[in-house]
Amino acid sequence: NAGVMQNPRHLVRRRGQEARLRCSPVKGHSHVYWYRQLPEEGLKFMVYLQKENIIDESGMPKERFSAEFPKEGPSILRIQQVVRGDSAAYFCASSAGTASGNTIYFGEGSWLTVV
């Protein structure tokens, strides 16, 4: 999967707690994307970030979810006051650019379980 690193791989949170998921893109990639996979479903786009900027957040829930990709360090997907419905696999992806031909590489996912 071309080096997109996600952690933690598995995270258990009680309802009302906060979940933070981290993603380090492929070295040299400045475009990061987050997707969510609910049980038995395909992946759904959440947000597209480029260094320090949110480019497209059309798939992000309006409340409790936020994402950042700072100048230094990994991208973070933050879910506040988690609920059972947030239980899902969260995948991060990256690309080198946005011109045609740039493959989008996915990480191995972070599995969030809310109990």
Binding site for other proteins (CB under 8 A): 1-2, 31, 33, 35, 41-45, 48, 55-56, 58-59, 89, 91, 93, 95, 98, 100-109, 111
Q: In the complex with other proteins, which residue's Cβ is closer, 24 or 95?
A: 95
The nearest distance, CB 48 to other proteins, in angstroms, is: 5
What is the SS3 assignment for 64-87?
CEEEECCCCCCEEEEECCCCHHHC
Residue that is written with structure tokens 């230094």 in the block: 72
Report d(CA 97, CA 103) in Å as an integer. 9
- Min. distance of Cβ 16 from other proteins in angstroms? 26
